[in-house]
Amino acid sequence: MLKEHRVVGLLSLAWEKQVEQTTQSVGRGRGAVHREKRVLQKTRYHSTHMARQADPIAALSQRFGWKAFVTNAGPKRRSLQEAVLCDRHAYRGERLFHRLKSRVHMAPRFVTRNEHMEGLTSLLTLGVRVLTVMEFVLRRSLQNDQARLPNVHPENKQKRTDTPTAERILKAFSDISLTIIKHAAGEDILRRLTPVSGLQEDLLQRLGLGATLYGQLEIQTIGI
C-alpha cells in the first residue's frame, strides 16, 4: 500500500499479525473420531499505529512545483524568466512529428530506393511548413491586436482563443464549396462559390490572403 500510494519513507506504520485456525474433516459427510482432518489458517494484519515523518515530508514538499531547464544561453543573453518564457512559447519538435505522421501521413511508405524516401520526405515536410507558418502568422496577428477568435471550437461556442492551431484554422473553412452546373455538352452554365463568413474573412485578412486569394476566386467564378 505504501508503494501503491507513493508514500514510502513518509509514513511509519506499526501493525500486528492476527492468525485464526479452524479444523475441518477431509471429504464430504459428517465428521468422525478417526477421520482425517485438516487445519485451515486465516491470517490478517491489523494496523495499530501510523505516524507522519515530518522531515522527509518537508524535504519532498520543497521540490513540489519545480522543473529543471537546461539552456546554452548564458545569463547575459537570457535571464531566468526569459529562458522559461521562451521554452513555454516555443514550437516543440513533437508537434512537427505528430503532423508528419497524422496529418500528411508520412508512414508507412513502401518504397525501395533511398532517394525516393528522401524526396518523399522533403515533399511532405512542405505541407508541415505551410501549417506551421500559417499558425505562427495568425497567432502573431492576434497577439499584436490583443484579440481572440470566436467560433473556432465548435464543441464550445463560448470559447475564444488567441492561440488557434493550424488544424482548427483549416477546419473553419470546411464548409466552403464550389458548385458547378454543366450543360449536356460539357460546357459550364453556372458556378457558385460559398460566400465567406465573418470569421473566415477575419482569418483570411490576418493571414494576408483576404484581398488576393478568395477575391480572385470570386471574380473568376462570376466571370464564368
Q: Where are the domains positioned within the chain?
A: 1-23+38-60, 80-147, 174-224
Nearest-angstrom CA–CA distance, 48 and 51:
11
Mean pLDDT along residues 23-31: 75
Please state whether the predicted TM-score (pTM) of the whole model is above 0.75.
no
Identify the helix (H) or strand (E) that includes residue 66. Answer: none
pLDDT at 218 over 60: no
Q: pLDDT by residue (tens digit) across 104-154? A: 667 666 777 888 888 888 888 888 888 888 888 999 999 999 998 888 887
Crossing angle (nearest 10°) for helices 114-145 and 198-206: 110
Bridge partners for 180 per DSSP: 191
pLDDT at 92 over 60: yes
Q: Are strands 178-182 and 188-193 parallel, antiparallel or unpaired?
A: antiparallel
Identify the helix (H) or strand (E) that includes residue 38. Answer: strand 37-52
Confidence of residue 224 (pLDDT cuts 50, 70, 90): very low
Other Cβ atoms less than 10 A from the Cβ of 144: the count is 9
